[in-house]
Amino acid sequence: MAGAAEVPLAAEIAAGRRRRRAAFLRRLFGHGSFLIGFVIMALFVAIALAAPLIAPHSPIASDYRNLNAPPSALHWLGTDAFGRDVLSRIIYGMRVSLRIGIAVVLVTGLFGTVLGVLASYVRWLDGLVMRMLDGLMAFPGVLLAIALAAVLGPSEANAVLALSITFTPRTARVVRAGVLVVQGMPYVEAARAIGAGHGRIILRYILANALSPLIVQLTYVFAVSVVAEAILSFLGVGPPPPAPTLGNIIAEGRSSVQETWWLVTFPGMVIAVAVLGLNLMGDGLRDVLDPRQIARREGN
Amino acid sequence: MRRPGFPDSLFRLAAAAALAMAAAGSPATAQTRGGELIVVQGSNPPSLDAMTTSSQASRNINMNIYETLYGFSEGVKPIPILAEGVTISDDGLTYVFTLRRGVKFHNGKEMTARDVKASLERYRRVGATKNLLDPVADIAITGDYEVTFTMKKPTPTFLEAFSSPRAPAVIIPAEEADAEAGKTSFTGKGPYRFVEYVPDSHVTLERFDGYVADTRHDGPDGFGGRKTAYLDRVIFRIMPEPGAQVAALEAGEVHLLEQIPVPAARRLEKNPDIRLYENMPWAFLTFILNIAQPPADNPKFREAVQVALNMEAILAIATEGLYQLDHRWQYPGTTYDPGDIGADLYNLGDTERARRLLKEAGYKGEEFSILTDSNYPQHNKAAVVIAEQLRAAGINAKVKMVDWPTALNLRLQDSGWNGWTLMMGIEPYLGPVGLIATLTSPARPHFVKPDPELDALYQELISGPTVEARQATFRKIQARLYELKAIIKIGDVGLMQAARANVKGFRPFRFPRVYDVWLEE
Amino acid sequence: MLRFLTRRLLSAIPVLFVVSLVAFGLMWLVPGDIAAEIGGTDATPEDLAAIRERLGLDKPVWERAVNWYGALLQGDLGYSYLLNRSVVDAVIERLPVTLSLAGLSLALATLTGMLLGILAAVRHNTLLDQGAMIVALIGLSVPEFWFGILMIIMFGVWLGWLPTGGFVPLSEDPVGWARSMVLPAFSLAVSQMGVIARMTRSAMLDVLGQDYIRTVRAKGLRARGVVFRHGLPNAMIPIVTVVGVITGVLLSGAVVIETVFSLPGVGRLIVGAIQRRDFPVVQGGLLVTAGIFVFVNLLVDVLYAAFDPRVRDGRGG
């Protein structure tokens, strides 16, 4: 192929891609659910990032003269059984939730993609990989995560690993399904015909097109991991104290819910709002990315 | 089920006497026979085969089902329970136990010397603290109601150790003595008999109508005395969530909480339907150092830790406010109370002095890993506060929290941990021998490397011929522990219990005694 | 149909094999063992070695694996180290609790979820639709264990209407059973109610938008008739699929709810066994729960095939 012909073609493709991206973003932010979810999560991320600036107290400094104090002007959301400021702990806890959520999304996305592509692309591996994933999926997720956390020991990194292993199978299935759909498409056949290598085909054509369901899936994985961190901490296998995680705050407050209601109520609400935001974003992404849905909306 | 005209006059006499004994001074109402009492505890009993376990969750239930030859009185002195008495030879080498006659097992058979020998031989095999029978060379049946122990050497503290409720040397029917640990039918001869155990749900006991009370006493005394079962049935419910336990008590679904969180207790103080029972002191809270590993192998470093700690802050947080500051390795006012020794090093919270000592010790900021577990809040809360205080003094302290089995395994390794928080519940109650045994050879001391001086003092303690001699030895032990600084006493921890107001006759003790307790309607 | 069934049944075998392998592997890797739990704080290394020998924990891993799989092939899941009963008995004893909880939640979630979903679909793009979807979304977002704690405080303590925890067997006292199950089942159902409501709504919208429904409508059939006679049956396929997935989620969520409400269920059995290293119970318990999950999905597949003959003949996965 002549180099001269390639240049304008590439520029055209790039321009087209930019246009499509702009249109996509317009559609996405025009979607009410996504916008609300996005605002919630943007706020969440901003608070988490600015934690050292906005937290009124240290999240781990104890004060034994001021244990379990109800909300007051000094401690807006009260103190916990260590005399620590609950508001500050929640703010820093959002940081940990965010960190865990993002890490789980990345690791799950990576494992899920690799396994999903392997299963769909390498035919003889399909049966083996899928049976393994089916086996993992047959475990109740919480039990698998608890067992993994017991094996690995409680720490933030291990919580991430345990949750990633738990969520990978479903993600891999989503990727595999997406790839299988794309694989039969004419343009992939065409790429193969012009002699493109496996790596190039997978990256450029197949993955790029299986990405939509993956992104939607990962948004939900994010939401589930925020709750799962709380569950692991609640059962004593999450990040160890004095780490200020939302789950730890609830876990520490649960022995005296009636006396120190602020310990259980507020972090629970933060979790619910975050999960709500992520679900809204996921819904928006799904509507915009899933062509079937678009077709329906346009048909109606 | 009120039955005011209960015909058994003997029973009424006993009941009245028990009431007169009750320190709590309940109003003089007649006891009610019948009814069902629901007691709540947080965890499953690991076993109901009493001699094989030293867990508190098991003891709570088992001590209502089983009895021992000797046991502790309310004042922590050995008293005969199933034994009529014991005659100890002048050389201290022969113990002749005579047994009470007519005492029946739950299966209806009468207890004889054969059952006693068989049970104790079983204890030697499967008993959780089987080394307490180590001083005994031979157990012989010397009559239908008499067994004779021949000792290897005189052991003045043997009867105390033998009376220990820790993993009690209970008497079971000889037919069950060959059973593996945990495989008996849980037949004892206490005032209540075992009916059913559904793990994570409940253990059911029923009144044993064939129970033969010990008429030498007027009422219950410690683990022995005259016990009277009023209730038809007792259910120990297993509820893991303290919050749910309190809710159930308030709703009247259950009658007695073996332990209630202190904040809940404070809230319920004014509630006329609930009565609170405070047990103080209940346990020691300790901080153990691994003296086989740097940096705590250095005595100067250990001194820095000792002076850095503010015990009041640790206790206030770890116990939720139910504690007493106490530097002693025996409870204040007990026989072996060592007085002021060590008080000058206790509860200093002196960060500056700690920093100086660390400099002298040549501490370079090596990581100091504090092992603790997620199962016992007192352990992990103490660990968190200790780490915070040590960091303030310049020690690079980190909390390493794992689950209980992992913690127990890790601390048996020589490395991988530098500190460990541990609550000692029953050991301090048992007196100095039981406590110091866990810190000296031949056991592996909690702080890993045995201290020859402490080992020698332990031998001196167990062979001390008189109480006075042993008291003197224990003062030396107290002094040595504060010199060594391998295990640091944080303080004494209390235990709060709560019951519905209609639960009468309950007197808090080392386990919830459900005999001599009745329900008022 | 028979061939389809056999094929699906056979495909469950490798899945369960993987489950057993993972369960065994996890318990092989986990640090600590039950010896410390039995021996307590004062056990010497020799005491622990004796306990391990008694329980066969001193044997090399391959020998333990051979023993376990050997027994497993004969239907024997082993004997608990702590509970004084066989694993099969321990699990069977608790199945009624977990099945009551998961079953009731499933029923509750399905009924209310479908109701919400149908309402929203029928009144598409109205306030009712939006309201229903907001309820569904909030339900979906609330952490169930947290919700359960709040329920206990509200209905168990403040109002005193319902017990705060514990389980009453159905055979003993049906009313007590129902009362003991209301709060846990509701807490567990809330988020799945949201899932089903959303699923039902979108499935119904799909179906209601199709030509034949428009035709039926045009013929002047009353709206309710259209929805229930024609719309719902066709929307059932995706809903049934979701129910299969949800069963897994409910079995998983039951673990936490059982702890919050002090219910002696299979989930709590396994969590307790993990925490105390009662290996046979963990391995056997996981195998049984996974088995239930596989079975339910098999059932869903069969239902699915009954609704849609193409599935029977075509793909199996």
Residue C308 scores a pLDDT above 70: no
CA neighbor of C181 nearest in space, from C194, C199, C166, C171 = C166
What's the pLDDT band for B399 if we cut at 50, 70, 90?
Answer: very high
How near does any CA of chain B get to the CA of C42, in Å? 6
Flag if B244 and C157 touch (Cβ within 8 Å): no
Closest residue of chain B to C265, computed from CA coordinates: B200
Contacts of A255 in chain B (CB under 8 A): 241-243, 261, 377
What's the pLDDT band for A46 if we cut at 50, 70, 90?
Answer: very high
Residue B288 scores a pLDDT above 50: yes
What's the pLDDT band for A246 if we cut at 50, 70, 90?
Answer: very high
Contacts of B400 in chain A (CB under 8 A): 240
- Looking at the complex, does the CB of residue A268 fall below 8 Å from at least one CB of chain C? yes
Residue C314 scores a pLDDT above 70: no
The residue among B211 and C241 whose pLDDT is bigger is: B211
Q: Give the separation between CA B481 and CA B288, rounded to whole angstroms.
A: 12
Question: Which pLDDT does position C310 carry in this prediction?
Answer: 59
Residue B146 scores a pLDDT above 60: yes
Q: What tens digit of pLDDT does each residue of A98-109 get?
A: 999 999 999 999
What is the distance in angstroms between the CA of the first residue and the CA of the last residue of chain A? 46
- The CATH class that applies to domain B282-494 reads alpha beta
What's the pLDDT band for A296 if we cut at 50, 70, 90?
Answer: very low
The residue among C228 and C156 whose pLDDT is bigger is: C156
The residue among B133 and B19 whose pLDDT is bigger is: B133
- Between B198, B253, B404, which is nearest C164 by CB? B253
Residue A11 scores a pLDDT above 80: no
Closest residue of chain C to B410, computed from CA coordinates: C32
Flag if B243 and C152 touch (Cβ within 8 Å): yes
Q: What tokens were used for B383?
A: 């660990």
Residue B32 scores a pLDDT above 90: no
What's the pLDDT band for C247 if we cut at 50, 70, 90?
Answer: confident
Residue C86 scores a pLDDT above 50: yes
What's the pLDDT band for B29 if we cut at 50, 70, 90?
Answer: low
Under an 8 Å CB criterion, which residues of A touch B? Answer: 60-62, 64-65, 67-68, 81-83, 150, 153-154, 236-237, 240-242, 254-260
Q: What tokens were used for B80?
A: 């005969």
CATH code of the domain occupying B36-236+502-519: 3.40.190.10
- Looking at the complex, does the CB of residue A32 fall below 8 Å from at least one CB of chain C? no
* CB A181, CB A207: distance < 8 Å: no
Flag if A236 and B399 touch (Cβ within 8 Å): no
Residue C251 scores a pLDDT above 80: yes
Q: What tens digit of pLDDT does each residue of B353-374 get?
A: 999 999 999 999 999 999 999 8
Q: ipTM of the predicted structure? A: 0.85
Residues in chain C: 317
- Looking at the complex, does the CB of residue C14 fall below 8 Å from at least one CB of chain A? yes
A7-11, A287-291, B4-8, B44-48: the lowest-pLDDT one:
B4-8
**Exposed/middle/buried for B37, CB within 10 Å: 0-12, 13-18, 19+?**
buried
Question: Which pLDDT does position C270 carry in this prediction?
Answer: 92
- Looking at the complex, does the CB of residue B55 fall below 8 Å from at least one CB of chain C? yes
Burial call B350-376: b when 16+ CB within 10 Å, e when fewer: bbebbbebbeebebeeeebbbbbbbbb
Question: Which pLDDT does position C300 carry in this prediction?
Answer: 79
The DSSP bridge partners found for residue B499 are: B256, B275
- pLDDT winner (highest mean) among A113-127, B99-113, C244-258: B99-113
Percent of all residues in chain B with a pLDDT value above 90, rounded to a whole number = 72
What's the pLDDT band for B18 if we cut at 50, 70, 90?
Answer: very low
Residue A2 scores a pLDDT above 80: no
The residue among B99 and B463 whose pLDDT is bigger is: B99
Domains (ranges, CATH) in chain A?
A: 85-299 (1.10.3720.10)
Q: What tens digit of pLDDT does each residue of A133-187 get?
A: 888 888 888 888 889 988 988 888 999 999 999 999 989 988 888 888 777 777 7
Give the residue-averaged pLDDT of B301-314.
97
- Between C19, C267, C274, which is nearest A138 by CB? C19
- Please report where in the chains the tokens 């309940």 appear, as a residue: B26
Give the residue-averaged pLDDT of C269-279.
89
Flag if A135 and C275 touch (Cβ within 8 Å): no
Subunits next to A (3 or more Cβ pairs <8 Å) are B, C
Q: What tens digit of pLDDT does each residue of B465-515 get?
A: 888 999 999 999 999 999 999 999 999 999 999 999 999 999 999 999 999
* Radius of gyration of chain B measured on its C-alpha atoms: 24
Residues of chain B with CATH 3.40.190.10: 36-236+502-519
Question: Which pLDDT does position A292 carry in this prediction?
Answer: 53
Residue A192 scores a pLDDT above 80: no
Residue C248 scores a pLDDT above 60: yes
Percent of all residues in chain C with a pLDDT value above 70, rounded to a whole number = 89
Percent of all residues in chain A with a pLDDT value above 70, rounded to a whole number = 93
Residue B117 scores a pLDDT above 60: yes
Query: What's the half-sphere exposure (Cβ side, CA atoms, 13 Å) at A298?
Result: 7
Contacts of C39 in chain B (CB under 8 A): 128, 408
Where do the structural domains in chain C lie, given as residue ranges? 87-205+234-312
- Looking at the complex, does the CB of residue C309 fall below 8 Å from at least one CB of chain A? no
Give the residue-averaged pLDDT of A116-126.
83
The residue among B55 and A294 whose pLDDT is bigger is: B55
Residue A6 scores a pLDDT above 70: no
pTM of the predicted model as reported, rounded to 2 decimal places: 0.85
Give the residue-averaged pLDDT of C183-189.
93
The three-class DSSP label of residue B38 is strand
Q: Which architecture, in CATH terms, is C87-205+234-312?
A: Orthogonal Bundle (1.10)
Q: What tens digit of pLDDT does each residue of B400-436 get?
A: 988 888 888 888 888 889 999 999 988 899 889 888 9
- Looking at the complex, does the CB of residue C13 fall below 8 Å from at least one CB of chain A? no
Per-residue three-class SS string for chain C:
CHHHHHHHHHHHHHHHHHHHHHHHHHHHHCCCCHHHHHHCCCCCHHHHHHHHHHHCCCCCHHHHHHHHHHHHHCCCCCECCCCCCEHHHHHHHHHHHHHHHHHHHHHHHHHHHHHHHHHHHHCCCCHHHHHHHHHHHHHHHCCHHHHHHHHHHHHHHHCCCCCCCCCCCCCCCHHHHHHHHHHHHHHHHHHHHHHHHHHHHHHHHHHHCCHHHHHHHHCCCCHHHHHHHHHHHHHHHHHHHHHHHHHHHHHHHHHHHHHHCCCCCHHHHHHHHHHHCCHHHHHHHHHHHHHHHHHHHHHHHHHHHHHCHHHHHCCCC
Interface test with B, best of A234, A259, A261 (most B CBs within 10 A): A259
